[in-house]
Amino acid sequence: METVTITMKNAPALYLEADTISPDAFAGKSAAQIAELPVFEGNVPSTLGKYFAISGNAGATAEDTKIVVKGDVKRVKYLGFKMTAGELVIEGSTDQYVGAWMKGGKLLAKGDVAAFAATAMKGGELTIEGNAGNYLGAAYRGDWRGMSGGKILVKGNAGSDIGMYMLGGEIVVGGNVDVHAMTHAEGGKLVVKGNAKSKLGGQMVEGTIFVFGTIEVMMPGFKPDGEVELEVEGRKATFAHFIGDLGERHKKKKGVVVYGNLYKKL
């Protein structure tokens, strides 16, 4: 695997839309060619080399390419946009749409990420060592197709509306989550190792939520369904089981009604 290191040298005055910072866009290119890839500062077109010093040549394919992003990229959006393979390491915090529409590969953010990370994610692995903003793994605004595959690991806290319209895949949050987690979900799995606020699983049709901490306000559409001992993320525990959201329409599989499942550690 070949490594390309890009280091911020001229921070943008406005926000930089850099959806070309991905193994797919870099693949097969030299450092000089990568420097010519298009970006936008606001609505003004520019090139990647205006803002970043670039060293190293990419591999022949995305799978053979690793990108390391250094410097202050808090004003840079779309890192890892639609990546299908390879690796991307962001050494600090960054702005919106990290790993949006991601299909494969590994993306590591060592700081915080802003809203809309992993929008409509279909595959791959996204690890966030800091905190994640709102709408993590959610649908794009106006769409009903949220995250459908892959795995997201957040070591810190996550904001509101994470997993909105989630269809599949897995989100694991090491800390706390804000309101409206897995709203409208029709599949997928969310593990919250800390606490969850209100409206957890609202209008949920299918999918699974595990909460190891507290739930500030339980949705009235979830019905208690006994207790169960499970192993989740390597931890064995006894959970109170709830099914819901009973206010929503639910399909049948082999004649049995399918509900969303919420497990709260006792």
Q: Give, for 55, the enclosing helix (H) or strand (E).
A: strand 52-55
Enumerate helices (H) and strands (E) in the chain, giving the number of each: 3, 19
21 and 80 in contact (C-beta within 8 Å)? yes
Residue 244, in any domain of the structure: yes
The rounded distance, in Å, linking the Cα atoms of 222 and 247 is 9
The rounded distance, in Å, linking the Cα atoms of 266 and 58 is 50
pLDDT digits over 185-244, tens only?
A: 999 999 999 999 999 999 999 999 999 999 999 999 999 999 999 999 999 999 999 999
Residue 45, in any domain of the structure: no
What is residue 142's predicted lDDT score, i.e. its pLDDT? 87
Is the pLDDT at 248 greater than 90, yes or no? no
Residue 89, in any domain of the structure: no
Smallest Cα–Cα separation from 104: which of 68, 66, 62? 62
Length of the chain: 266
The rounded distance, in Å, linking the Cα atoms of 73 and 16 is 9
In the chain, how many domains are there?
1
Is the pLDDT at 130 greater than 90, yes or no? yes
Residue 37, in any domain of the structure: no
Residue 205, in any domain of the structure: yes
What is residue 8's predicted lDDT score, i.e. its pLDDT? 98
* pTM tops 0.75, yes or no: yes
Is the pLDDT at 252 greater than 90, yes or no? no
Residue 5, in any domain of the structure: no
Residue 39, in any domain of the structure: no
Is the pLDDT at 180 greater than 90, yes or no? yes
What is residue 72's predicted lDDT score, i.e. its pLDDT? 96
Domain limits for position 198: 115-265
- For residue 15, name the pLDDT band (cuts at 50, 70, 90): very high
